[in-house]
Structures are given as structure tokens and as C-alpha cells.
Amino acid sequence: MTTNTFRRAALLTATASATLLGAASANAAGFYLQEQSTKAVGRAFSGEGADQGAESMWWNPAAIGGNAKSSAYLSASAILPNSKVRNVNTLIRRPTNATFVPVGGNQVSEDPVKKGVLPSGGVAYRVNDQFAVGLAITSPYSFATNYDNNSWARYTADKTKLTTIDIQPTIAWAPLPEISVGVGLNLEHSDATLTNALPNVSAALPDGSQSLKGKGWDMGWSAGMQFRPSSFIDLGVSYKSSIKHKLKGDVTIAGLVGPLAASNLTTNAVATFRTPWQLVGSMRLHVTDKWTLNGTTTRVGWSKFDAIRLGAPLNTAIPENYRNTWSFAGGWDYDMSPQLTLRGGIQWDQTPTRNGERDARVPDGNRWNYALGASYKMNDMITLDAGGMYTSFDTSKIDRTTAAYAGTAAQTPILVNGSVKASAIVLSLGARASF
């Protein structure tokens, strides 16, 4: 067995274990965060594509077309997950073992998905009765996870941090009072750091380690239309493209000994992957002067995240095999007074991960979101928003089989068998201005 073969196998194992962006979710399917405005949080993301104003621009760039005034918003959502990732019967077979044996380590990981605050904001300027321009700044794919160094899941996940910044310049046109159309560019920056342990050939030896870091700027687009045929109903449809991300960075492997010692190194690396597209259909029904009912159906093209493609020196692809998903949301707004609006909603959101292919970086499952919120209009210019949401995740299996140093004499298969139970609370505050 040559040194180069072991080195390539170690690199492949390290990067495959990192599973760049195959990430733990905080409060949305896969690794997408929906909390892009406080008003949206308060009604479980129902009706956003049919609503108007700068705070709805992320969901539909047509939301600013034909508005009577210019507008701006700021929002911050505290995402507070509670999760327990438990080993059931994960087994490993090192070259020094005749049979599979328990992986060992801490058998329960408490709250590996870290708490965080998600900011967002935007501004829309009314040029005239027909045209408006705007800018939304969001962070749609951001999270952090941290497993203990001796966790049973250490060979597939240790520490993970992803931060994205999406800048969406937008232009909208209302050729008629009943119709508006809009388009936007999505300039997205991603910065990722991922680490995990690597098994040495004997359990008597301490684990090695690997870290993968990368960042890059990439671009996609958004387009949408809104139709208001009467004072009773508002309709909206929008599409947000998949974005092909290219992250440039480096891989560091350390702590391997014996026949794997030559694989310790730091090398440049390039990884490419795609975020999903989204097709959003929304409606708002103004059933009385006070009551508005909201609904949204979303189809998410998670199958775009089919693999992570790695350039030289690996020149390979890691399959992810995410599936396309649906989400359905319903909610309401109630104008209790000219100053105070109450709202609420429920959303069912489907996970893109599949049984048999879910690892510890993706302790994800189908979930229900239950939300309440309120807005208080301080004056003709300023409105304050508040929202809260509880998320209940289905219990899911962690069951993606992997192998370290596949195809070499040091091949170390790992039969992953775990489970995850999770919930989350989201608390959001925001402010809107019209001028």
C-alpha cells in the first residue's frame, strides 16, 4: 500500500465525514432558516408571498411593487433548540478487530445544536406609483453544532459552524394597481468550518482529527408576481433559484499514527454544492374588516443538494441524496384596534433527509411549527413587531453507514445507529417604518 493511497483515502474520509453543509437544522427543514422577519414568525410563515412591504421581499420580490409608501424593517430572532442525540448500537470494525465492536464514547449528546440569534433587514424605496427598488439582507443558511470530543458520533460530526449572508437587490413594477411583478439578485456569501475525529487503526490509540474550512461568494436570483383582483383576496407566487456554491479553503489532518501517519497534512481544497430552489404560493383572504386568513404552500428543490463535489486532490463526489419537500402553513391576522394586531399560525415542514442516509450532522425530522405574534403601531411611521414559535420535531434515526479509509488495507467501516429527539423555541422582535 503506497503512502499516496493512504493519504488520498484519509483525505476522502476526512472530507466525507465533514459532509460540508449536510448540517443540523435549527428550525427549518434541512439547513434553511425561515425566520427572515418577525411578522412572518408570528404567523408561522403563512401568507408571506402575498403580503406587501419590505419585510416580505425575501419571499416575493413583487411585495414592494405598487406600495403606497416606502418602507424598511429590522428583525432579530433568537433560536433556542433543545435536542438529545442518543446512540442505539453504533458499531466499528478496525483492521485490528476481527468483528464489529461498540464505538464507545459518550452515549448521549445533550443539545449539540447551538443557540443563536438570526438578524435580517431590508428597505424598499417607492420611486413612483409603478416602480420600487429595494434591498434585503438575510442569513438563510446559518447554524452551529458542537459534539463532545468523546461523543459516540465523533467520527461523523464534532464541531460545525456555517454562516451565510444573502444580499438581495430588488426591482418591482406595478403596471396596474392589481398586479405587481418583481425580480432580484441573490448575492450570497458562505463561510464554513467543520471538524470531526478520525479513527486510528487500533482502539488503543487516540483518535486523529480533521478540520475543513472554506468560504466564497456566489449568486442566484428571485422572481415573483402578486395579483389583487379584489379587496377580498391577495395572491402571490414566487421562485427563488438554487445557488451553486464554491467554497475555497483547506483541509487539515492530524494525529494519525502508524501506517496512516503519512496522511497528516494541510492542503488546499475546493468544494461545490447547491442550495435548493423554492417555489412559493401564498394567499391572504380579508374575510372581514378585522380578520385576515393566510396560507402558503412551498415546494423546495432539495434534490439539488444531491452531492458535494470535491476538486483536486480528491476529484470525487460525496452523495447526499436529499429529496424535494413540501411545507404547508395556515394563519391569521386580527386587527383588535387601529394600533394593535394579533396573529398566529401553524406550519408543517417536511425534512429533506432520508432514512438510511441521515448522519449526526443532520439530526433532522419532519416538524410542526406553532406560532403567535403581535404588532403595535406607535404612530403613522413606526410599528413594533413581536413573535414566538414552538417547534416539535419527529423522532428520527441517525443511520448513515460510513467507512474510514475505504478501499485500503486500513478500511474501517462504521455502522451508525442512533436517534434524535428535538424541539425549539423561537423568540423574535422587530420594527417596521413607512415613509
pLDDT of res. 11: 52
pLDDT of res. 24: 41
pLDDT in tens, 334-378: 999 999 999 999 999 999 999 888 888 777 889 999 999 999 999
pTM beyond 0.75: the answer is yes
Portion of the chain with pLDDT greater than 70, in percent: 93
Give the structural domain span for 214. 3-84+104-410+418-434
Provide the pLDDT confidence category of residue 16 given band limits of 50, 70 and 90. very low
pLDDT of res. 8: 53
pLDDT in tens, 281-322: 999 999 999 999 999 999 999 999 888 787 777 677 777 889
pLDDT of res. 256: 94
* Greatest mean pLDDT among 14-23, 149-158, 196-205, 232-241: 232-241
Judge whether residue 21 has pLDDT over 50.
no
Q: Of 58-72, 121-135, 148-162, which gets the smallest average pLDDT?
A: 148-162
Does 427 fall in a domain?
yes
Provide the pLDDT confidence category of residue 14 given band limits of 50, 70 and 90. very low
Provide the pLDDT confidence category of residue 27 given band limits of 50, 70 and 90. low
pLDDT of res. 431: 98
Provide the pLDDT confidence category of residue 160 given band limits of 50, 70 and 90. confident
Taking the alpha carbons at both ends of the chain, their separation in whole angstroms is 71
CATH for 137: 2.40.160.60
Bond before 313 cis per omega within 30 degrees: yes
Judge whether residue 155 has pLDDT over 80.
yes
pLDDT of res. 278: 97
What are all long-range contacts of 317-323, with beta carbons under 8 Å and residues at least 24 apart? 318/15, 318/16, 318/19, 320/19, 320/22, 320/273, 320/357, 321/354, 321/357, 322/30, 322/276, 322/352, 322/353, 322/354, 323/352, 323/354
Mean pLDDT of 160-170: 92
pLDDT of res. 289: 95
pLDDT of res. 271: 86
pLDDT of res. 17: 46
Portion of the chain with pLDDT greater than 90, in percent: 70
Judge whether residue 20 has pLDDT over 50.
no
Nearest-angstrom CA–CA distance, 384 and 366: 32
Does 293 fall in a domain?
yes
pLDDT of res. 307: 82
Mean pLDDT of 238-262: 93
Provide the pLDDT confidence category of residue 29 given band limits of 50, 70 and 90. low
* Greatest mean pLDDT among 25-29, 148-152, 384-388: 384-388
Using the Cα atoms of residue 94, residue 97, residue 101 and residue 105 in order, give the sign of their dihedral. negative
pLDDT of res. 22: 40
Does 99 fall in a domain?
no
Does 386 fall in a domain?
yes
pLDDT of res. 274: 92
Q: Which of 89, 114, 111, 87 is nearest to 102 (CA)?
A: 89
Mean pLDDT of 414-432: 95
Mean pLDDT of 90-115: 92
Mean pLDDT of 29-46: 91
Mean pLDDT of 150-158: 91
pLDDT of res. 23: 39
pLDDT of res. 42: 98
pLDDT of res. 364: 85
Does 98 fall in a domain?
no
Does 259 fall in a domain?
yes
Chain Cα centroid distance, residue 188: 13
Does 94 fall in a domain?
no
Does 93 fall in a domain?
no
What total of structural domains would you count in the chain?
A: 1
